[in-house]
Amino acid sequence: MTKAGTPRISEKWYARAVFSVADVGESLGYYRDLLGFEQSWKHEENGRTTVTQVNKGEFEIILTEDLDRVGQARVFIALDATELEKLQQAISTRQIPSEPIHWGYRLIRLRDPDGNELLVSLENCA
């Protein structure tokens, strides 16, 4: 890894979702405490975190305070059967708000505190 968690890029593409949020601390609580993500790095200004990255395995999201774009992000996620079962168990035991929807696939829609969406497929998308 290089500066601020940026990986060395070879000939493969590397992408991270960027979710604009009103309060990084509140969003960090949602992703870390409810969904089980880990915090990879953070950027602070005046002693306050304004940008951070969370990850669950190789899936990474940058959370950044950008009031003009809050809640406008969406990411489509395909999980293997084991990870999907773990997520559904977490939703149930931690009472994480979610809803079933159809968007080309049967999905579970999770919304973070700002309205950014994680669309998790309930079907084999491979």
Domain boundaries, the chain: 3-121
Span 75-102, pLDDT tens digits: 999 999 999 999 999 999 999 999 999 9
Span 11-64, pLDDT tens digits: 677 889 999 999 999 999 999 999 999 999 999 999 889 999 999 999 999 999
Would strands 48-56 and 117-121 be described as parallel, antiparallel, or unpaired?
unpaired
pTM, two decimal places: 0.83
Contact 24, 69 (CB under 8 A): no
3-121 has CATH 3.40.50.2300 classification: no
29 or 10, which is more confident = 29
Would strands 17-21 and 48-56 be described as parallel, antiparallel, or unpaired?
unpaired
